[in-house]
Amino acid sequence: MRILILMAFALGASAQEDELFWYDNYKEALKVAKETGKPIFLEYRCEP
Amino acid sequence: MLSPKTSPLGKQLANYVCVRVTRMDNVDIALFDHDRNNTIYFYLLNADEQIYMRYGGRDSRSADSYLSMESLALAAQKGLDLHAAYKSGKLANVERVKPMSPREIPLLVSRTFAQGSCVECHLISDFQNMHREQDGKLDKLVHLFRSPDLRTIGIELDVPKGLEVKAVSGPALQAGMMPGDRIAKWNGLPVWTFADAQLAYDKVPRAAKEVPVVVDRAGREQTLTIALPARWWWTDTRWRQSSIEPRSYFEDQPMTADEKQALGLPEDGFASKVKYVAEIARSTKVHELEVGDVIAAVDGVQRDGNAHTASLYLILKKTPGDSAQLTVLRGGKRLEMPLRTVRMSFRK
């Protein structure tokens, strides 16, 4: 369980500029991926 | 670690469009097909919704037995490599499965959407299974046991290194697998992570006697044929109780051949010893089992090709609400005892 918690924190949403931006809308992420040519990193997680 | 962009993993993820989904309302559950009882699960894919790989999966011991930051970073790097290959036309397209919305599951709609409740991941498979049961299409070996464990065939992974094998025993050893091998294909499907391998393993027909596995050994591919033991698909399901019905409110353990022989029970039978009885069994009067009882037979049956315990036999053969007659050995006496199976309240 420790790894799971660590992962949740490490990948956690953040508003800080130096941290990753996470979309919460899959369709929007698809659109951005099309526009940027980037792949998608999709996380399914139970709402804490 | 808490500033992803400055961590090794964060540097890789900066090359992705990251998206987090916590409600399953509008998810294509056919495309994103995994054991819904995982707490966390990842997909690496492109804008055409071609999935490069999955990351996640678990065993019955813990939700994070197969998770590590190191292996997630490996997966993220491999995902970038595959994406580069895709963009340059070097990656074969995978045929898209027919989409399916959670809204196509009537019980899920009436119990969650219509109530404004959260569409929890596990509810998708729980209610799908209820429909399958009603339609006579529930294949319990397939639909209740979705996370087969590689350890069942003797494969111990070096988890931080992804699909690199750390130790080998049993059927995998007999097939020639070696420590240091990296599993590359499972039953013909390319696999990059434990989640990929577990999903490919889950897709193996339950009656299969062997599974082909390709390993990368020092840069060369070797194809191994691993013999599948009885119940290779089985895992301890206590961590996912909402998925498993019928309930009988007791736990048991398999008996050794010597224990069975001493009691005059068939060695290949599913006789088992009761190790836990839930208090609710008393109050609901579904049975009168006690810890230490030996269940010698269910409805007069002692053997089953798929069950190694009486509780598994009940799960596989009974529908919630069914009755059964147990033959129980207690203190040197043989008892005949009725049992009634139960459906969980949230499913009623």
Q: How many domains does chain B have?
A: 2
Do B185 and B252 have their domain in common? no
Min Cα–Cα distance to chain A from B98, Å: 18
Tell me the mean pLDDT in the region B99-106. Answer: 96
Centroid of chain to Cα B17:
29
Min Cα–Cα distance to chain A from B56, Å: 10
- The per-residue pLDDT for range B15-64, each reduced to its tens digit, is 999 999 998 888 999 999 999 989 899 999 999 999 999 999 999 889 89
Beta-carbon contacts of B85 under 8 Å, excluding residues fewer than 6 positions away, are B91
> In this structure, what is the dihedral angle of CA atoms A12, A16, A19, A23, given to the nearest 10 degrees?
60
Q: Which domain holds residue A22?
A: 2-36
- Rounded to two decimals, the pTM is 0.91
Domain boundary pick from B174, B198, B227 = B227
Quick check: is B52 in a domain? no
Question: Is B22 close to A36, i.e. CB distance below 8 A?
Answer: no
Do B254 and B338 have their domain in common? yes
Quick check: is A28 in a domain? yes
Mean pLDDT score of chain A, rounded to an integer?
80
- The per-residue pLDDT for range B110-153, each reduced to its tens digit, is 988 999 888 888 889 999 999 999 999 999 999 999 999 999 99
Interface of A with B in 6-45 (CB under 8 A): 6-14, 16, 18-30, 32-34, 36-45
Q: What is the CATH number of the domain that holds B277?
A: 2.30.42.10
Name the strand (E) or helix (H) holding A2. Answer: helix A2-10
Quick check: is B209 in a domain? yes
Quick check: is A45 in a domain? no
> Residue A12 class from Cβ within 10 Å (0-12 exposed, 13-18 middle, 19+ buried)?
middle
Do B167 and B255 have their domain in common? no
Measure Cα distances from B68 to B57, B63, B165 in Å: 11, 11, 15
Residue A22 has pLDDT above 90, yes or no: yes
Tell me what pLDDT residue B345 has: 66
Comparing alpha-carbon positions, the chain B residue that sits nearest to A13 is: B20
Do B157 and B202 have their domain in common? yes
Return the half-sphere exposure (C-beta side, CA atoms, 13 A cut-off) of residue B87: 15
Does A9 or B281 have the greater pLDDT score? B281
Domain boundary pick from B227, B256, B276 = B227
Q: Which domain holds residue B165?
A: 150-227
Q: Is the ipTM of this complex over 0.85?
A: yes
- The per-residue pLDDT for range B156-210, each reduced to its tens digit, is 999 999 999 999 999 999 999 999 999 999 999 999 999 999 999 999 999 999 9
Quick check: is B342 in a domain? yes
Quick check: is A44 in a domain? no
Quick check: is A29 in a domain? yes
Quick check: is B56 in a domain? no
Domain boundary pick from B160, B194, B227 = B227
Q: What is the CA radius of gyration of chain A?
A: 12
Residues of A whose CB is below 8 A from B14: 20
With cut-offs at 50, 70 and 90, classify the pLDDT of residue B312: very high
Instruction: Please state the φ and ψ torsions of residue B42, each to the nearest 5 degrees.
Output: -120, 150
Rounded Cα distance between B55 and B72, Å, is: 7
Closest to B14 measured CA to CA, from A39, A12, A29: A39
Comparing alpha-carbon positions, the chain B residue that sits nearest to A24 is: B20
Residue B298 has pLDDT above 70, yes or no: yes
Min Cα–Cα distance to chain A from B172, Å: 28
Quick check: is B191 in a domain? yes
Residue A13 has pLDDT above 70, yes or no: no
Beta-carbon contacts of B78 under 8 Å, excluding residues fewer than 6 positions away, are B52, B53, B192
With cut-offs at 50, 70 and 90, classify the pLDDT of residue B2: very low
What does the block give as tokens for B152? Answer: 């069942």
Tell me what pLDDT residue B313 has: 97
Rounded Cα distance between B99 and B3, Å, is: 36
Quick check: is A23 in a domain? yes
Mark out the alpha helices in chain B (DSSP H runs): 8-13, 69-87, 106-108, 121-134, 140-143, 170-174, 194-202, 257-262, 279-284, 310-317
Q: How many domains does chain A have?
A: 1
Quick check: is A9 in a domain? yes
Do B291 and B327 have their domain in common? yes
Rounded Cα distance between B122 and B82, Å, is: 30
Q: Are B63 and B83 in contact (CB under 8 A)?
A: no
